[in-house]
A and B are shown apart, each in its own frame.
Chain A
Amino acid sequence: MTPVLELKGVAHAYPDGHQALFGVDLHVHRGERVALLGPNGAGKTTLVLHLNGILTAGAGTVTVSGLPVAPENLLEIRRRVGIVFQDPDDQLFMPTVRQDVAFGPANMGVRGAELDAVVDSALARVGMSAFADRPPHHLSFGQKRRVAVATVLAMEPEILVLDEPSSNLDPASRRELADILRSLDVTLLMVTHDLPYALELCERSVLLSDGVVVGDGPTVSILGDDDLMRAHRLELPAGFDPHRV
């Protein structure tokens, strides 16, 4: 079966010469929920920006359901790979929630009643239907993040990529978002250093450190491997035992 996401030897250096990725190999299959873990500066965000062609690999290839990330496929790639960025104020830029959710599908050429249906369904899936006509800057942070997820769901992506989904959320909003993410029938790649969140939502974790994949396996065994964790500056909250969740 063709993986939803396939990275082969992806390397990237920024124009200033700083090299962030040194040959990353990664497969994500349909229906999987994968956590991408790693300390600050590991190259996680750089990797995410390769998935929809915002950055192009200096070496190696990225393929989404068999379609290579290349300039001629960019629009289709961006429909297939939905990225939810860390700061919802970056993601929500239209005057109202409804217009923001409609922005992606409208760029794909969806119009009229079909567009309305797509928007309504995306907002319903994150429980934000009642806020459709509000301006985004009047929502709470947790609500903004849910709308940000809806803006991407409206494009019916094959894989949903979330950059630090739990950051800055209070415990209740964090749990509500987890419930929503669990309810979605979509392949998920979640970039995070919230390790309990990764354990709660993702059966599999990939550990990225200094631009290479240093661990890939069931989340519980990655988090339970003390030596691996210590070597790559990852720490569980004090007293947290991944085997007892």
Chain B
Amino acid sequence: MGGAHGHSLHFHGHSVVHRLPAHLKLVALVVYVIAVVATPAGQWWAFGLHAVVLVGVMAATRIPAGYIGRRMLIEVPFVVFALIMPFVAQGPRVQVGPFSLSEAGLLAAATLLLKGTLGVGASVVFAATTEAADIVTGLRRVGLPRQLVEIIAFMVRYLDVVTGQLIRMKVARASRGFSARSVRQWPVLGSTAGALFIRSYERGERVHLAMLSRGYSGAMPDLAPVSTSTGPWVAALVAPAVSVVIAVTALVLR
């Protein structure tokens, strides 16, 4: 759980990046990631420039580098995968110290690491500067189907409620001397999951009753404020536009 503001990834602040509307940041994130992914392997200078763009945006958020660094640990499994690639890939090999490594594997690993790190970094910046409620609104604004947005909104709202319920059930179980040490205890875990499902299902019914009681008739009203000025669009798209230019140049020079 995070503090009083937003979800656990969110870092409270008032920078220009924090203030941008969520749907613009979402568009900017997607454009930036596409530009990075479209940049051809081997054009190291282009990846360097993409990184400069990202670091520039990170600096503008005024979020401490250590915070962003810790959040980027989610990338570790991909890093492990990238490190394995030079050993297992086919093709011509080069000798690096005691290891014989695949040239193609090295290139692929380096590209994967670069693209992955840039993508994760941009996503962490987005998550750290956008409240959960605004992300949901942003998804609605960029035209994600209504039903999907509503499912995500309810998930965001009830994640903590259901997690709280699960924790209370675990405490109650442990208080009666239960600990899951062997396969023989699996049925107990199964019935916990079943009970949690039933409870959540019943809560869903009660929430639906509460919605009906306030006049719900099948469509959620769109209640978030809308900004119509073009200023935020320009601010949000500066960074991804630079990256698109970098990617296009890299493609032409290839």
Contacts and interface: CB of A to CB of B under 8 A. Distances in A.
A95 B153 contact: yes
A168 interface: no
A54 B213 contact: yes
Given A94-B157, A95-B136, A95-B157, A107 B216 contact: yes
Interface residues of B, number: 31
B4 interface: yes
A136 B211 CA distance: 16
A151 B4 contact: no
B217 A102 contact: no
Interface stretch (B11-19, B184-192, B202-210): B202-210
Interface string A99-121: 10011101110000001000000
Contacts, number: 86
Contact of A91 (B153, B210, B217): B210
A93 interface: yes
A99 B132 contact: no
B211 to A, nearest CB: 7
A225 B220 CA distance: 48
Interface string B1-39: 000111000000000000000000000000000000000
Interface stretch (A4-12, A33-41, A81-89): A81-89
A227 interface: no
B28 to A, nearest CB: 22
Contact of B211 (A93, A98, A138): A93
B215 A78 contact: yes
Contact of A90 (B131, B136, B203): B203
A189 interface: no
Interface in B204-252: 206-207, 209-217, 220-221, 223-224
Nearest to A134: B4
A135 interface: yes
Contact of B212 (A78, A87, A106, A134): A78
Nearest to B135: A95
A49 interface: yes
Nearest to A96: B133
B154 interface: yes
Interface of A: 49, 52, 54, 75, 78-79, 82-83, 85, 87, 89-96, 98-99, 102-104, 106-108, 115, 134-138, 151-152, 155
Interface of B: 4-6, 131-133, 136-137, 153-154, 156-158, 160-161, 203, 206-207, 209-217, 220-221, 223-224
